[in-house]
Amino acid sequence: MSQAFPADHPPAQTPKIGVVLLNLGTPDGTDYWSVRRYLKEFLSDPRVIETPKWLWWPILNLAILSFRPQKSGHAYAQIWDKEKNESPLRVITRDQTEALAQRLAGESNVMVDFAMRYGNPSTRSVLDKLQQAGCQKILLVPLYPQYSATTTATANDKAFDALAEMRWQPAVRTAPAYYSDAKYVEVLGNSIRDGVAALDFEPDLVLTSYHGLPQSYVDRGDPYEHDCRETTRLVGEYLGWPEGKLLVTFQSRFGPTKWLEPATADTLEKLPGQGVKKVAILAPAFSADCIETLEEIAMQGKETFMHAGGERFAYIPCLNDTPAGMDMIEAMVRRELAGWL
């Protein structure tokens, strides 16, 4: 004997699989309050700032958030996509998401979306949307090639916080860091070789500039520095370049504590005095161009180098949503979805 469901029982949905590309985040605008909201969320994350809250909170709220939003807002304005009125990071991450969705279109039960650890679209809102759409399995893909607690871990943390409040919680997988993945090394290496070949000069040196990290984080066990140096070593081997042609540096220092060295800005300032007058630079820690690449490196970095006596400077873009970059993301996602598709 069959038994009917109550009249208000929700209809059954065809089970779906969600894929969420996770990136750092961006303010919604370049104005003071938009940037302030973003910076407060970012700099309040204990994964990012490990200083005890009782000490850090007054510094953040009374000093940093009073003055830094104006400076950061000006920097964002230099690279803002005025046509779409969004930061390049959000524009490119959306483009990556749409490109991946097209590549997975043959998998009728797969939905692809993106979320930001800080700002919008929030991780919680995207996971809620996918769960309500019938996604009973979700793959989280932090778009950070090199692992760090300040990036990969906190992106997953935010997702887990949202999952903890779901009554009907989907099964979840997290994609690992992919700095040593053969496809990533190949695609990154080819982008460097092609980028250099397209220049009208031969660089004396190619810098691989990674986002910085306090030295104390590495001393306490964060593998980020290892992953960065290994990325450059593997790419150098793939390219067959002589040792010393690729140089590892670290950018975006913040505060008085000791950070990973050598610093990108200091290196660019010193190189012309050492006879290195022509450089190319890229930022392998970023999957999409953003303020740290377009403003800090391509603009500020160039100004520093040329002012110090450099002659030629070139920035090689991130992989972004290029066909090769999307080949790599698709291959990684399909591998991590094994057994679900």
Are 298 and 334 spatial neighbours (Cβ–Cβ below 8 Å)? no
Annotated binding site for Fe(2+): 211, 292
Closest CA to 248 of 273, 274, 267: 267
pLDDT at res. 254: 84
Report how far residue 40's alpha carbon sits from residue 154's, in angstroms, rounded to the nearest whole number: 15
Q: Where are the alpha helices (DSSP H) in the chain?
A: 32-43, 53-58, 65-79, 88-103, 123-132, 154-163, 182-197, 215-219, 224-239, 264-270, 302-307, 323-336
Segments of the chain with pLDDT less than 70 = 1-5, 9-13
Tell me the two tokens of residue 44: 């309040």
Report how far residue 172's alpha carbon sits from residue 188's, in angstroms, rounded to the nearest whole number: 28
pLDDT at res. 339: 95
Reported as a single tens digit per residue, the pLDDT across 127-159 is 999 999 999 999 999 999 999 999 999 999 999
pLDDT at res. 6: 73
- Calculated CA dihedral for residues 202, 204, 208, 212, nearest 10 degrees: -140
pLDDT at res. 306: 98
The matching CATH number, chosen from 3.90.700.10, 3.10.330.10, 3.40.50.1400, 3.30.70.20, for 16-177+324-336 is 3.40.50.1400
Quick one: residue 234, left, alpha or beta (phi over 0 = left, psi -120 to 50 = alpha)?
Answer: alpha
Report the chain's C-alpha Rg in angstroms.
22
Report how far residue 157's alpha carbon sits from residue 153's, in angstroms, rounded to the nearest whole number: 6
- Calculated CA dihedral for residues 216, 250, 47, 319, nearest 10 degrees: -150
What are the residue boundaries of the structural domains of the chain, listed by start? 16-177+324-336, 182-315
Report how far residue 300's alpha carbon sits from residue 90's, in angstroms, rounded to the nearest whole number: 22
pLDDT at res. 256: 83
% helix / strand / coil in the chain, to the nearest 5? 45, 20, 35
pLDDT at res. 225: 98
Reported as a single tens digit per residue, the pLDDT across 227-265 is 999 999 999 999 999 989 999 999 999 888 999 999 999
List Cβ neighbours of 104 (8 Å cut-off, separation of 6 or more). 19, 110, 112, 330, 333
Q: Note the pTM of the prediction, 2 decimals.
A: 0.94
Annotated binding site: 211, 292
DSSP 8-state symbol, 118: E
pLDDT at res. 4: 67
The CATH fold of domain 182-315: Rossmann fold (3.40.50)
Identify whether 317 is preceded by a cis peptide bond (ω within 30 of 0): no
Neighbours of 106 (CB within 10 A): 8
Q: Vertex 326, ends 321 and 331: CA angle to 5°? A: 160
pLDDT at res. 2: 55
Enclosing H/E stretch for 142: strand 135-142
